[in-house]
Amino acid sequence: GAGVSQSPSNKVTEKGKDVELRCDPISGHTALYWYRQSLGQGLEFLIYFQGNSAPDKSGLPSDRFSAERTGGSVSTLTIQRTQQEDSAVYLCASSNRGFSGNTIYFGEGSWLTVV
């Protein structure tokens, strides 16, 4: 597609439930990133994919968070047993090759509210 596409755009879930957030990167982009943004805050790095592998998972906050990428394209971020502190905007981004200097383009985000 023309840009990074994320779904759902909004999700309200009950505490303790699992959620899946999907990201469709820009066609041909090999690098894919997940970030989290709490209300009024900056962007917190979660995980980076180059192709289907994740060389940097250093930002995942706990083992309840996981992500995968298949076919070098679509990625899914899964949050298990959601907690209220997981409420945030989850932003996906992609870039052409994943090197410093390659512009990273963001999607509009998935707004997650845990009640």
Residues that bind other proteins (CB under 8 A): 4, 31, 33, 35, 41-45, 48, 50, 55-56, 91, 95, 97-109
CB of 36 to other proteins, least distance (A): 11
Q: Which is nearer to other proteins, 5 or 13 (CB)?
A: 5
84, 64 Cβ separation under 8 angstroms: no
Whether the CA torsion 27, 104, 39, 56 is positive or negative: it is positive
CB closer to other proteins, 5 vs 66: 5
Cα distance between residue 34 and residue 23, in whole Å: 9
